[in-house]
Amino acid sequence: MSHTLDLIIKNGVLVDGTGSDQRVTDIGILGDKIVYIGDITSRPDSDVIDAAGCIVAPGFIDIHSHSDFFCLVSPESESKIYDGVTTEICGNCGISAFPLKGQLLENKKKGFSKFGLDINWQTAEDFFTRAKDAKSAINRGFLVGHGNIRACVLGYEDREPDSNELVAMEHELRDAMESGAFGMSSGLVYPPGCYAKTDELIALCKIVSEYNGIYATHMRDEGDKLEAALSETINISKESGVNAQVSHIKTWGEKNWWKIDKIERLLGDARAEGIKITCDRYPYTAAATDLDIILPDWVYEGGNAEEKKRLEDPLCRERIIKEMKQEGLSQEFWGTIMISSVFNKEKRGYEGKTIAEISKTLNVPPLEFVLDLLYEEDCKVSVIFFNMSEENLARILKWDSVMIGSDSSLRSLEGVLNYGKPHPRGYGTFSRVIRKYVNETSILSIEEAIYKMTGFPAQTLGLKDRGILKEGFFADITIFDQETIAEQATFTSPHNYSTGIKHVLVNGKLTINDGKHESVTNGAILKK
């Protein structure tokens, strides 16, 4: 071959991201692109990585991330790149970094000031400029949050938009899509997304479809009303023509584990009908979210300040307790919820303990403790729910429609992002898939796993030059030892980077070298 080369990766076991069988070969890189794949004679003017015995794969694509704001705080993106991730898609679950107006803007300014972040933008274009200037070790693309759009136009009111308000929402959506968003996400269990009717979502998704974007949805329910929620998503895709992405597909709560057959059938029938619907999932049986998700929807109306007032009001508290007790919450239920993070220092001792444990120690009924804690923490308490089936998870990971996503923001072992006891998926999602579901249980072959982490999400997003190791594609590459790759983050000790990742290249630049971060920030802001 005649190419001048900056870097040669020699003797690696190539798993190219298409699902094709692995093979031993070399890769030649010039600038930010792969220019040759095949036997290459070493050259004195080229740097060389000897990858003998290691898997050479496309850099992992985290299609479901929440690093929208934290990417401005931590350019080195340590927890992601140490897990082999070279690209992440932020703005999921209806929550994004844009648009920001009114009450929503003020909430974000207040919430992220504790991380030293000055939020001085409102539009998608302004955010993209800020993110590009901040630089990053990895690539990022962004979805626009339906929750953001609704909050900017309607605030946190539980009502349908009138015709003028719907036009205003459509304007915000078009602005984001024309600025380069990859689609729109929804979080239909969170305010204000939970107040949206199906027709509103269909109308907005028709616009997303015009731009060939995706609709990534944290559905309205993942447990008791799972089938209805999935049917709604399928209907939204069918009526709007949008490519739907079901976020973190699961069967929530032991009493709903049996529904796995139903949702598999619903997805299969929809795809057979030509409806464009795919899913993502993290490789854990525990979920992480905000504690107040367990409260009735009416508690959130009006925003954070109004929610806090209701938690303080005796009559409202009485109503909340009455309605939640009707749900038949057991002591076992409170034992499945672990406090992940709080911000008041005097409450930090709660982190890593279940609500059942804490309430027993304090001799306070669990629900009373929850309402008190939410009030004292300004309604911002992160928790982990241990309530999913390992058997169902293994089945889901095998489905043709499912790819891998972390559902987590980036974290760090040092600085302001080293707080609480976060879900370990922020550190170890991709390593865990290979360690547990390829090496130990053989649920997936290495080729299948890599495809679900690279080629499949790239295809879903419409990334035409990433996600596959191919001549002419960007040199986003992860090189790892398949025998030793493993997540080190656990629920009790989450702040640990994965091991076994030898080298990571982002746009042709060696960012992880022999397992060490080179402080290179060569990531790009990707646009649709």
Tell me, yes or no, whether 269 and 245 share the same domain. yes
Tell me, yes or no, whether 506 and 396 share the same domain. yes
Residue 522 is assigned to a structural domain of this protein = no
DSSP helix/strand/coil, 282: coil
Tell me, yes or no, whether 157 and 296 share the same domain. no
**Per-10-residue mean pLDDT for the chain, 528 residues long?**
84 98 97 96 86 98 98 96 98 98 93 92 97 96 98 96 98 98 98 97 98 98 97 98 98 96 98 97 97 92 90 94 82 92 92 95 94 93 96 98 97 94 97 98 98 98 97 98 98 97 98 96 97
Residue 99 to residue 148: CA distance in whole angstroms: 6
Tell me, yes or no, whether 62 and 172 share the same domain. yes
Residue 475 is assigned to a structural domain of this protein = yes
Tokens standing for 6? 């900056």
**Of the residues 386, 417, 444, which one is the last residue of a structural domain?**
386
Residue 406 to residue 427: CA distance in whole angstroms: 9
Give pTM, 2 decimals.
0.96
Q: Are 18 and 451 in contact (CB under 8 A)?
A: yes
Residue 373 to residue 45: CA distance in whole angstroms: 62
Tell me, yes or no, whether 448 and 412 share the same domain. yes
Burial 349-363 (b: 16+ CB within 10 A, else e): ebbbebbbbbbeeee
**Of the residues 353, 386, 419, which one is the last residue of a structural domain?**
386
Contacts of 496 (CB under 8 A, 6+ apart): 413, 427, 428, 488, 489, 490
Positive or negative, the Cα torsion across 385, 391, 397, 400? negative
Tell me, yes or no, whether 381 and 393 share the same domain. no
Enclosing H/E stretch for 323? helix 314-325
Q: Report the domain count for the chain.
A: 2
**Of the residues 386, 412, 435, which one is the last residue of a structural domain?**
386
Q: In which domain, by residue range, is 306 found?
A: 290-386
AA letter at 131? A
Residue 242 is assigned to a structural domain of this protein = yes
Residue 412 is assigned to a structural domain of this protein = yes
- End-to-end Cα spacing for the chain: 34
Give the pLDDT of residue 44. Answer: 75
Tell me, yes or no, whether 146 and 263 share the same domain. yes
Residue 405 is assigned to a structural domain of this protein = yes
Tell me, yes or no, whether 319 and 246 share the same domain. no
Contacts of 450 (CB under 8 A, 6+ apart): 15, 17, 55, 57, 58
Tell me, yes or no, whether 497 and 370 share the same domain. no
Residue 52 is assigned to a structural domain of this protein = no
Picking from 67, 141, 248, 5, the residue whose alpha carbon sits closest to that of residue 526 is 141
Tell me, yes or no, whether 221 and 302 share the same domain. no
Residue 221 is assigned to a structural domain of this protein = yes
Tell me, yes or no, whether 411 and 269 share the same domain. yes
* Domain harbouring 493, CATH code: 3.20.20.140
Residue 13 is assigned to a structural domain of this protein = no
Tell me, yes or no, whether 372 and 408 share the same domain. no
Give the pLDDT of residue 332. Answer: 86
Residue 62 to residue 44: CA distance in whole angstroms: 36
